[in-house]
Amino acid sequence: MDNKEIVNILAVDDRPENLLVLEQYLSSDKVNIIKAVSGNQALGLILEHPFALILMDVQMPDMNGFETADLIRQSKKTREIPIIFVTAISKEDKFVYKGYQSGAIDYLTKPFDPDILQSKVKVFIELFEQRQHLIKLNVKLEKRVESRTHELRIAKEKAEEANIAKSRFLSNMSHELMTPLHCVLSSELLRLAFGNHGPQASEKENTIR
């Protein structure tokens, strides 16, 4: 995790001593444990911070872990946050199944092995970091595409302006070239029609006669 940003993990438990145990096992200079003592508090925190993982107790007053997980999954902004239930009471299979139905990716019972918990958490931290890296790459790519599109649009506009200027230039040149040519052609036609003396000479000859 060298040179990586600090990753947030949300620990939710109505017993402060349990939160302190999770913080003791998981907190480091790269991992920040944010604590919540109720489901309602947890819902507020996940709207304020990005979390790599949620560790949540099942049995809590007012709103239990399953209900909290259901609400988290209903929000587009938070539904992708992985949830691990950690409980000392609800160990029966029916609770485990309900935990997975609520969207949890794992269900741990207390007392748990700290090494196992740390290994599981490490996996989700790495996945979170990879996902954040991809998001940043996508943002950079979108900016590059937007910048390139802008450059191409400007180049197209300049090319169109150049074509218009070229057409005007050729039109003007054609007009300038055709004007003296018309004079030459007119003079030549008159010479052929009246001879070398032109129309005035012909009139004089007719007068003399």
122-171 per-position pLDDT tens digit: 999 999 888 888 877 878 788 878 787 877 888 888 888 888 877 887 77
What pLDDT, on the 0 to 100 scale, is given for residue 1? 40
What pLDDT, on the 0 to 100 scale, is given for residue 82? 95
What pLDDT, on the 0 to 100 scale, is given for residue 38? 96
pLDDT band at 49 (very low <50, low <70, confident <90, very high): very high
What does the pLDDT average to over 174-198?
62
What pLDDT, on the 0 to 100 scale, is given for residue 166? 79
What pLDDT, on the 0 to 100 scale, is given for residue 16? 93
What pLDDT, on the 0 to 100 scale, is given for residue 183? 63
Token couple for 58: 């099942």
Q: Determine if the peptide bond prior to 111 is cis (ω within 30°).
A: yes
Give the pairing of strands 31-36 and 7-12.
parallel
Out of 35-44, 68-77, 152-161, least confident range: 152-161
34 to 2, 30, 133, 134: CA distances (angstroms): 21, 13, 22, 25
What pLDDT, on the 0 to 100 scale, is given for residue 50? 92
Per-residue pLDDT tens for 80-107?
999 999 988 878 888 888 888 888 899 9
d(CA 77, CA 46) in angstroms, rounded, equals 9
What pLDDT, on the 0 to 100 scale, is given for residue 32? 94
Q: Which residue has the higher pLDDT, 18 or 149?
A: 18
Give the single-character DSSP code of 53: E
Averaged pLDDT score across all residues of the chain:
83
What pLDDT, on the 0 to 100 scale, is given for residue 7? 94
In the sheet that holds 106-109, the strands lie side by side as: 31-36, 7-12, 53-56, 83-87, 106-109
pTM of the model: 0.64
**Planar angle of CA 198, 202, 205, nearest 5 degrees:** 140
